[in-house]
Amino acid sequence: MALTARDYSLTGEEAQRAVANGLAGAKWYASAIPRKRMKELMARNDGPALRDTALWLELTALVGALGIYTWGTWAAVPVFIVYGVLYGSASDSRWHECGHGTPFKTRWYNDVVYQIASFMVLKEPTVWRWSHSRHHTDTIIVGRDREIIAYRPPNFLEMFLDLFNISGGFQELRSIVRHAFGRLSEEEKGFIPEMEHAKVFVTARIYLSIFAAVIALSVVSASWLPLMLIGLPSFYGAWLKYLFGVTQHAGLAEDVLDHRLNSRTIMMNPVFRFLYWNMNYHVEHHMFPMVPYHALPKLHEEMKHELPHVYPSTYAAYREIIPALLKQRKDPTYFIQRELPSTAAPMAAE
């Protein structure tokens, strides 16, 4: 059959169709959780996030120091693999959660970690704050959500390159340069309020200044080491971030107003959960995005009777995802149909 690719841009016919069909800014299904219990789950608490953030930053600094010590030897290879994951993958979940403003009770703690983590994953903080707001408002709605990872049909070469942030990372760098010169794309103008444009331009110039300083230091020292510590980890350390990201929605339904049908909850080991900040509870997060990451396991217990099959591991999720993507390569209309348990409320109307 002929491959028919959908238009995933935010300015094309699919965007107009989503609005016309009532899918833009629509009402989503939400599990019925008692108000008192939800208030308890949404309570902010500095303690868990301070502990986890301190551990993450300390580990990153310690492994980075070990990388400096072992530089020029084969021992540096495994050290920088670990450093890359801490820098280029673990920072993604910190960017994400602090963008919601939920990990810390103290607001400026969220803001500081958000700015640091955004730089580490090459995500301009103002751009991505508004982009991610759209992602939650219109999750996997084609023409509205710019954070869809796996298009139909999927581009396997691009997906492979993004294991190391090659495609997406260089797109981000081009955007940073464009923003440094005071220009936004038409898509960006559609979701970033005009009053925020100046912030985008200033941040882009700061990013370019940091990159220029690190490159200059590498040239002066005649060593790749400065770039291995700042800049390049956003690429060589991005593979785990991408593997986690694909599990969130890939292969599932598009254009539905029920997160149980377009998102996955996966049971992960404690190390993955620390690196991912509990985003494996992804249905729960999308349904109730104001619940802090440290309360998501408790939220899961409150609503697990409503969830489709919960994947017992990341491996189990990929056993479903990979065949689905292969089928979508031949048939872009194919998607995994999630079955709700008998204890669940009916699915939201499409």
pLDDT digits (tens, 9 = 90+) for 68-111: 999 999 999 999 999 999 999 999 999 999 999 999 999 999 99
Residue 3 pLDDT = 58
Per-residue pLDDT tens digits for 269-319: 999 999 999 999 999 999 999 999 999 999 999 999 999 999 999 999 999
Give the predicted TM-score (pTM) of the model.
Answer: 0.94
When the pLDDT of each residue in the chain is averaged and rounded to a whole number, the result is: 96
Q: How many CB atoms lie within 10 A of CB 72?
A: 9
The dihedral of CA 338, 344, 348, 350: what is its sign? positive
Question: How does pLDDT run across 48-73, given as a tens digit for each residue?
Answer: 999 999 999 999 999 999 999 999 99
- Residues 238-264 have pLDDT tens digits of 999 999 999 999 999 999 999 999 999
Tokens of 69: 């010590």
Residues paired with residue 281 on neighbouring β-strands, in sequence order: 265
Neighbours of 211 (CB within 10 A): 17
The Cα-based distances of 77 to 45, 82, 90, 229, 310 in angstroms read 38, 9, 19, 13, 36
> Are 279 and 98 a contacting pair, CB within 8 Å?
no
- Nearest Cα residue to 163 out of 251, 77, 85: 85
Rounded Cα distance, 216 and 209, in Å: 10
Q: Which residues contact 70 (CB under 8 A, 6 or more apart)?
A: 76, 79
Q: How far apart are CA 101 and CA 275, in angstroms?
A: 18
State residue 1's pLDDT score: 46
Q: Of the candidates 105, 145, 343, which has an alpha carbon nearest to the alpha carbon of residue 248?
A: 145
Q: Give the contacts of 312 (CB within 8 A, at least 6 positions apart).
A: 267
Confidence of residue 5 (pLDDT cuts 50, 70, 90): confident
Give the number of other Cβ atoms within 10 Å of residue 26's Cβ: 15
Cα–Cα dist 201/192, whole Å:
12
In whole angstroms, how far apart are CA 258 and each of 23, 134, 222, 233? Answer: 11, 16, 54, 36
Residues 198-216 pLDDT 10s: 999 999 999 999 999 999 9
Question: In the prediction, which pLDDT does 346 show?
Answer: 72
The count of other CB atoms within 10 Å of the CB of residue 216 is 11
Q: How far apart are CA 100 and CA 347, in angstroms?
A: 26
Give CA–CA dist 320/311, Å, rounded.
10
C-alpha to C-alpha distance for 14 and 21, rounded to whole angstroms: 10
| Euclidean distance between CA atoms 6 and 142, whole angstroms | 8
Residue 350 pLDDT greater than 50, yes or no: no
Q: Where are the alpha helices (DSSP H) in the chain?
A: 13-20, 35-41, 46-70, 76-88, 90-100, 107-120, 125-137, 156-161, 166-180, 186-191, 197-221, 225-229, 233-236, 239-249, 259-262, 270-276, 282-287, 296-303, 314-330
CA–CA distance, 101 with 154 (Å, rounded to integer) = 33
pLDDT given at position 347: 63
What percentage of residues in the chain have a pLDDT greater than 70?
98
* Prior bond of 292 cis (ω within 30°): no
pLDDT of residue 349: 43
Structure tokens at 159: 């997906």
